[in-house]
Amino acid sequence: MEKELFLGLPRYLKDVTEQVALGGGEPTLYPELVEQFAQQCSDYDLICNLTTNGYFIKDWQDEKVERFSENLTMTSVSLDKSKYKQWRDRNEFLDTCKKLQKHTLVGCNLLTDQSFFHNGNLVNVVDLLFREGFDRVFSLYPKNVQGPDILDKKHYVQFLTMKYPNFYVDDITFKILDEGKYENWSKPCHYGKDIVSINEKGQVSGCSFSDDYRLTLKEPRDIIKVNDVHFEGRYSCPYLRR
């Protein structure tokens, strides 16, 4: 996306939403751009959150982390099998997150696979994260890959939800567990209602895994047009593979 278009969005996003989430790719590759965007969000009373793999932050000095985080409400660090391998050990990951905790709320996005539901691993990992001071933990169901069978593991999610008020699941996990099935839900998901997605080309869709683009931004004010876009209700997720 052109820099002028990107940095001009917050002025008009305030007419569409109260929150903006920056994701990847990897936002920490462009720290100055993130800082400028987050400042714009602050100027227009928008909450600005960010998702990162956290790997570059481990080498940043505290002053850079503070400057980067100044106008971010929350930074969520992603963790799954592949991302875990990039860290030397668990402490390197936790120490990097503690750098962020000095300056912003910190969450963890756990991309769950079948191993998380073996011998209570999900509970153990979430317990550890909250002991280490994480403000939020988000359990996310994988998209476009083989996902775990979670219907008979609902008790893990129920237990963690009761134990930790700031433990959350994503929309797909909620729909699967709430409806007791993977497709043909009786009620639509949040696609295009509580969430829309803008990709790096300025194309707008109903969620970040959709390529059904209903609008392409040419200038920042075009984002207001999303209020007039009709998104069809989705009763199953085409990006969910089992």
Structural domains counted in the chain: 1
Residue 234 forms part of a structural domain = no
Residue 239 forms part of a structural domain = no
18-74 per-position pLDDT tens digit: 999 999 889 999 999 999 999 999 999 999 999 999 999 999 999 999 999 999 999
The DSSP code sequence of 107-175 is EEEEE--GGGGSTTHHHHHHHHHHHTT-SEEEEE--SSSBPP--GGGHHHHHHHHHH-TTEEE-HHHHH
Highest mean pLDDT among 98-102, 148-152, 233-237, 238-242: 98-102
Q: How far is CA 57 from CA 18, 28, 38, 107, 239, in A?
A: 27, 8, 17, 15, 31
79-125 per-position pLDDT tens digit: 987 777 788 889 999 999 999 999 999 999 999 888 888 878 899 99
Instruction: Give this prediction's pTM.
Output: 0.91
Residue 219 forms part of a structural domain = yes
Residue 110 buriedness (CB in 10 A; 0-12 / 13-18 / 19+): buried
Residue 47 forms part of a structural domain = yes
Q: Name residue, tokens 């099998």.
A: 81
Q: In 3-state terms, what secondary structure has residue 194?
A: coil
Q: CATH number of the domain that 66 lies in?
A: 3.80.30.10
Structural domain including 182 reads 3-228
Residue 85 forms part of a structural domain = yes
Residue 63 forms part of a structural domain = yes
User: Residues 174-178: what's their mean pLDDT?
Assistant: 94
Residue 237 forms part of a structural domain = no
Q: What torsion do the CA atoms of 182, 186, 188, 189 make, to the nearest 10 degrees? A: -40
DSSP symbol at 60: S
Residue 91 forms part of a structural domain = yes
